[in-house]
């Protein structure tokens, strides 16, 4: 029996990187999916791969910086799935790596709008349709709150706070809100953040999906977990 047989999941930022790896892992384990990305064309590859794995998979275009797009995406996801069991908040932008004191406030605002405010809005819109006992999984970063990472660090620190608050507020429904740090992964965002790094020295995103599967399946590791440490005891 597939681990996620009959489950219904929304995965944002699924066109590439960690989001794509999570979507494919969910598809292979029997989940029905809505996957989001910033363009329909960008989602074609992951849609094809998920369907080849035997999963029902619907694409939804989403711009987290645009409230109207967020609302439309939430409505489209509910229309496609009916019930939602898991929300994976993976979509995000990096912005410039620089000291926060020197950062462009408009750019910081944009990064926070995407990574935090838009993510919160989407989650809020999906919560009435999230099954009791379901999960909200937020993809965080080791850069959360780290100096010289400007808006990205601010937004990920806020995302961790948002997730912890939802965990407490939704406990009476049995909803598990967990922030997962995938750690270093071979992604375009990682390459932009660390331009001198050899990509072969960091794991492929597919090697980091186990905690996302386990939480969707029902595990509750606490408010925050490191993917690289998963299963070490």
Gap between the Cα atoms of 29 and 182, Å rounded: 20
- What's the DSSP call for residue 194? S
Number of CB atoms found within 10 A of residue 106's CB? 9
Q: Are 115 and 155 in contact (CB under 8 A)?
A: yes
| Residue 1, helix vs strand vs coil | coil
Burial of 67 (0-12, 13-18, 19+ CB in 10 A): middle
- List of residues 6+ apart from 198 with CB closer than 8 A: none
Q: What angle do CA 137, 140, 141 make, to 5 degrees?
A: 155
- List of residues 6+ apart from 205 with CB closer than 8 A: 17, 18, 20, 21, 22, 182, 185, 186, 187
- Secondary-structure breakdown of the chain: helix, strand, coil percentages, each rounded to the nearest 5: 50, 15, 35
The pair of three-digit structure tokens given for residue 228, joined into one six-digit string: 């690289």
Please identify every residue annotated as catalytic: 152
Gap between the Cα atoms of 138 and 89, Å rounded: 5
Gap between the Cα atoms of 8 and 155, Å rounded: 27
């Amino acid at each position: 029996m597939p681990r996620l047989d009959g489950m219904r999941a929304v995965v944002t930022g699924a066109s590439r990187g960690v989001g794509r790896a999570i979507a494919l892992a969910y598809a292979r384990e029997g989940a029905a999916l809505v996957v989001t990305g910033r363009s329909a064309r960008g989602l074609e590859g992951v849609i094809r791969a998920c369907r080849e794995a035997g999963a029902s998979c619907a694409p939804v275009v989403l711009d987290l910086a645009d409230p109207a797009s967020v609302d439309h995406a939430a409505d489209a996801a509910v229309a496609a799935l009916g019930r939602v069991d898991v929300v994976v908040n993976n979509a995000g932008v990096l912005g410039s790596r620089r000291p926060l004191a020197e950062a462009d406030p408009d750019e910081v605002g944009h990064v926070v709008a995407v990574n935090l405010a838009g993510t919160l809005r989407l989650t809020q819109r999906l919560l009435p349709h999230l099954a009791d006992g379901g999960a909200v999984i937020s993809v965080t970063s080791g850069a959360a709150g780290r100096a010289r990472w400007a808006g990205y660090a601010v937004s990920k620190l806020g995302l961790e706070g948002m997730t912890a608050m939802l965990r407490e507020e939704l406990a009476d429904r049995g909803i598990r809100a967990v922030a997962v740090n995938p750690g270093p992964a071979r992604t375009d965002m990682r390459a932009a953040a660390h331009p001198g790094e050899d990509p072969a020295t960091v794991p492929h995103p597919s090697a980091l999906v186990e905690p996302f599967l386990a939480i969707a399946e029902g595990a509750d590791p606490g408010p925050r977990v490191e993917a690289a440490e998963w299963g070490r005891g």
